[in-house]
Structure 1
Amino acid sequence: MVAMVGKEVEVARRGDEEEERKEGKQRRYGLVEYRALPVYLRDNEYILRYYRCEWPLPQVLLSAFSIHNETLNVWTHLIGFFIFLVLTIYTATKVPNVVDLQSLQHLPDVLRKADLHKIQAELVACLPLLPHLSDLQKVKDELRSSWNSIEVLPSLSRWHLLELLSSCLPHRFTHSNETSLSVLQSMKEDIANMIAPQLIRPIARWPFFAFLGGAMFCLLASSTCHLLSCHSRRLAYIMLRLDYAGIAALIATSFYPSVYYSFMCYPFFCNLYLSFITILGVATIAFSLLPVFQNPEFRTIRACLFFGMGASGVIPVIHKLILFWHQPEALHTTGYEVLMGFLYGIGALVYATRVPERWMPGKFDIAGHSHQLFHVFVVAGAYTHYHAGLVYLKWRDLQGC
């Protein structure tokens, strides 16, 4: 009897211990309030609840799929990363072809499928009718011997040559008989396939891919930082610096396409502006490694530093407008850049002022607080700059210097 009672007591004790372990695990891995956080995790006193605090790494990783006050911070930039990954693949595989085909849309409909030798013969016959014959004599001589020799003309504006040819050929066939016109009706596909590879040479892509790489690094670093920083003080220290480095990398590489493609024909200014923004970016990253830089009281200084880094791009933009005021592409890209700067600026302002949660503490703990809005503005600004880069590529592919 005594043994049975002792056994029941032991079972009850084990049950109580199991319950305590479960409750302790739930307490340890549960969400806590701001006041329960260690100092290194206290960043925004207007976000009152739903914090993860010093969770084991497996639970931290799984928390990407649970609800807490960092969930949207993780996913806004993680989704942005995948968006830019797709854009990078698209740019690498499709953009040169898209630019080539779009560049030929101005050619008249009479330039359609025709025999290669017929096209060559007509171009040779067309050249004497064109202005600036002295500049084009080399084209005529080379065309007589080889179609591919047209690529020996780096000094000639490819866009200008296409304009001349497209204006000449329809004139030559204005009085042609109906059969000739019907033959010329099918030329456009062959013109795209034959002239584009010779006349339109895609310029260097590395500045554009540098920007795309900087954007992906920034977005992935930010997402990783918001996911992992709650694990420990040491990991939070590393992640925050990675996050700041990502922001500086995005801002610096955003200058590369605009500066390179605007001033590729002016090497001095191109190298000057690229060197300046690279040095400024490296200096900002180095400053962000200082321990004091992550303290909450430096929030405004952090925002102003990154904002000032971006604002320094006003100088090359104004310079570009002075040099190319007559080019519609210069105005088009500037419009995109102004919109990008506006989005980044609003995002930095929201981040620094902690609006709207400072107006209603605790109401935006899960969704709608300033850091989430900042992330959305960053992705929108980077996407806007991507479209500016496409305009730059088409402009320089068609015109060169």
Structure 2
Amino acid sequence: METGHHMLLRSHSKKLLAEPKSLKSQTQPKLSQTLDDDAMASSSSSSSSDKLHTFERLHAEGFAYLADNSYIRSGYRLHYSAKECFLSLFELHNETLNVWTHMVGSFIFLMLMLYLALSGHALAPAADTAALAGLTTPQAWCANGQPWMEAGHHTPRMLLATGVTELCPPPTGRVAPAKYYEVASVIFDHSLHRLPSLERFHALVEQNVGGFSDSVGAQMELLRSELGALSARLGGHVRDAHSEQVRSLKMQLDQRVESLSMFLQDVASQVGADLPMKYALEELNGVADSVRNGLHILASAEGPHDVPHWPIFAFMASAVVCLTCSATFHLMFVISRPAYMFLSRLDYAGITILIAGSFYPMIYYSFYCHPWLRTAYLASISTMAALTFTVALMPVFSTPKFLVARTCIFLALGFFGVVPVTHLVWHFGLFDPHVTVMIGPLLLMGLLYTSGAIIYATKFPERFYPGRFDLWFSSHQLWHICVVAAALVHFANALQQYEWRWNTQCEA
């Protein structure tokens, strides 16, 4: 019994010792498999941002929605997280140029907005209501100011040389503000050229008055500096004439002329009947009068004709929104199918905003003198854009099933521009400034958009050389470049329209 008992214990002990070994042998493969799986997942994650995939692999693995152009054979991102998508901004793949073209375009328009909003000298702000000597309009200047203007010692021949009669239209006529700046600029330049010849009078004043010559020299030097700065600004673009800097220079120069005139009056009270001194003071006063005349001409151009520039900012804001949405879509859409669907709808909505924003400058400035038509057209395009925007955000809108409907809606919104342009041609004529100021840039913009759309639709050039344009200058990338170029052309034309509108008053 004892021997049997010991044998039973030994058998039981061997069994107990064997069980952990069995458990170890059963657990080890599972643990090894788990580690292998983790390693593979880690390897896949770490290499996802390094390895790009082919068109065939995306379609084979069920990611066909990420690759809709069979002529782009490689360079596709797959299994990217949001962070990896963002970092892929600095990687080279088949969406890199798509992202950067519209991201840079958005940055350009954002900087233009800030520049125009902060600098103030590229667009004319609201007209200054504080005019010198009460001369606020061209008609008021011609009726009340012209005799006084010609009383200046040197100004009359300057006015005749620059065509002063053009500044005095009939009561129903119009004068371009640019003409006033042209005349004022000539008068200022003439005064500047006269200043060096007056330096010989400084010594004469010093001999007769004493202690005043230094003040005369200092006054004339300050006048030369401020007059030169203002003249240089007026000699530039007509939009510079109403900048904050020019307004400040005009105010400083006006104060300088008044100070100089008062100073010369004090000197005149000291010299009595001395003829040489009287002649010297008359010459100095003549320059002061000419500068004052130029300032009065500038004040005459600052009438109540105030042209808002908000339509230009509306267009620039729409360009920023559209290009930002597009760049975001092309950078982040590979995260997941839901992300792709949402960002694609956002991209379509951005396109709607750009189309609507492009209409605002053209309609507002072209129909500026016809408030009812202007309001009707702006309300129409805003309503159409709002409806298109709403439809664009619907999930079903971005599916292939509604490709034709989607295209027709965008085309209808875009081709609505034919209506106001045709109206302008019918009402004013093809060669009227209302039409000529915009028709050339408008055709160029249309050519860029149309060319880009044709390139995109025909998948040129990659359809003829599959795989050669995977990373650089594929049809979609060329389309993006055309969009940015067309938007910049439209921006430049919006500035031209604004300047023309500001320079052309409405008929009475």
Deviation at 1:157, TM superposition (A): 4.7
Pair 1:232-2:336 in alignment: yes
Deviation at 1:329, TM superposition (A): 5.9
1:252-401 equivalence runs, <5 A: 252-295=356-399, 302-303=406-407, 305-325=409-429, 327-328=432-433, 330-401=435-506
Contact between 2:180 and 2:297, CA under 8 Å: does it hold in 1?
no
1:54 corresponds to which residue? 79
1:78 corresponds to which residue? 103
Contact between 2:169 and 2:175, CA under 8 Å: does it hold in 1?
no
1:90 corresponds to which residue? 115
SS at match of 2:460: coil
- The number of residue pairs the alignment matches comes to 353
Counterpart of 2:311 (choices 207, 212, 215) is 207
Cα distance in 2 between the residues matched to 1:34 and 1:28: 16
Deviation at 1:278, TM superposition (A): 1.9
2:176 corresponds to which residue? 159
1:34 corresponds to which residue? 55
Deviation at 1:270, TM superposition (A): 1.3
Contact between 1:73 and 1:371, CA under 8 Å: does it hold in 2?
yes
Change in CA separation of 1:397 and 1:32 when aligned onto 2, cut-off 3 Å: same
SS at match of 1:52: coil
Deviation at 1:385, TM superposition (A): 0.6
- Residue type matched to 1:66 in 2? E
Deviation at 1:357, TM superposition (A): 1.3
Deviation at 1:289, TM superposition (A): 3.4
Change in CA separation of 1:41 and 1:357 when aligned onto 2, cut-off 3 Å: same
Aligned residues: CA RMSD: 4.1
SS at match of 2:176: helix
- Residue type matched to 2:68 in 1? D
Larger Rg: 2
1:129-182, Cα deviation, whole Å (9 max, x unpaired):
97999986xxxxxxxxxxxxxxxxxx9856379669959x99xxxxxx994764
Change in CA separation of 1:134 and 1:316 when aligned onto 2, cut-off 3 Å: closer
2:158 corresponds to which residue? none
Cα distance in 2 between the residues matched to 1:165 and 1:365: 55
Pair 1:217-2:238 in alignment: no
TM-score, normalization: structure 2?
Answer: 0.60
SS at match of 1:203: coil
5+ unaligned residues in a row in structure 1: which ranges?
1-8, 104-115, 137-154, 171-176
Cα distance in 2 between the residues matched to 1:389 and 1:305: 25
5+ unaligned residues in a row in structure 2: which ranges?
1-27, 149-163, 188-278
Structure 1 stretch 21-30 or stretch 307-316: which is displaced more? 21-30
Contact between 1:200 and 1:397, CA under 8 Å: does it hold in 2?
no
- Residue type matched to 1:314 in 2? V
Change in CA separation of 1:320 and 1:84 when aligned onto 2, cut-off 3 Å: same
Counterpart of 2:70 (choices 39, 45, 48) is 45
Change in CA separation of 1:184 and 1:387 when aligned onto 2, cut-off 3 Å: farther
- Residue type matched to 1:54 in 2? H
Pair 1:251-2:355 in alignment: yes
Deviation at 1:368, TM superposition (A): 0.8
Deviation at 1:296, TM superposition (A): 5.2
Change in CA separation of 1:307 and 1:131 when aligned onto 2, cut-off 3 Å: closer
Deviation at 1:271, TM superposition (A): 2.1
1:119-130 equivalence runs, <5 A: 124-126=144-146
Contact between 1:299 and 1:352, CA under 8 Å: does it hold in 2?
no
Contact between 1:218 and 1:247, CA under 8 Å: does it hold in 2?
yes
Deviation at 1:394, TM superposition (A): 1.2
Contact between 1:64 and 1:71, CA under 8 Å: does it hold in 2?
yes
1:183-228, Cα deviation, whole Å (9 max, x unpaired):
46545873586445x3265422222111111100000000000011
TM-score, normalization: structure 1?
Answer: 0.74
SS at match of 1:49: coil
1:315-360, Cα deviation, whole Å (9 max, x unpaired):
2123223444464463132211111111111111222221111121
Deviation at 1:262, TM superposition (A): 0.6
Counterpart of 1:23 (choices 36, 43, 48) is 43
Deviation at 1:294, TM superposition (A): 2.9
Change in CA separation of 1:164 and 1:195 when aligned onto 2, cut-off 3 Å: closer
How much identity, in percent, do the aligned residues show?
Answer: 35
Deviation at 1:396, TM superposition (A): 2.0
Cα distance in 2 between the residues matched to 1:352 and 1:31: 25
Contact between 1:307 and 1:345, CA under 8 Å: does it hold in 2?
no
Cα distance in 2 between the residues matched to 1:93 and 1:189: 28
2:23 corresponds to which residue? none
Contact between 2:135 and 2:299, CA under 8 Å: does it hold in 1?
no
Cα distance in 2 between the residues matched to 1:232 and 1:385: 36
- Residue type matched to 1:346 in 2? S
Deviation at 1:229, TM superposition (A): 0.4
Cα distance in 1 between the residues matched to 2:118 and 2:432: 28
Structure 1 stretch 300-309 or stretch 177-186: which is displaced more? 177-186
Contact between 1:303 and 1:349, CA under 8 Å: does it hold in 2?
no
1:3-53, Cα deviation, whole Å (9 max, x unpaired):
xxxxxx9xxx89978864553324544321122221332322221111112
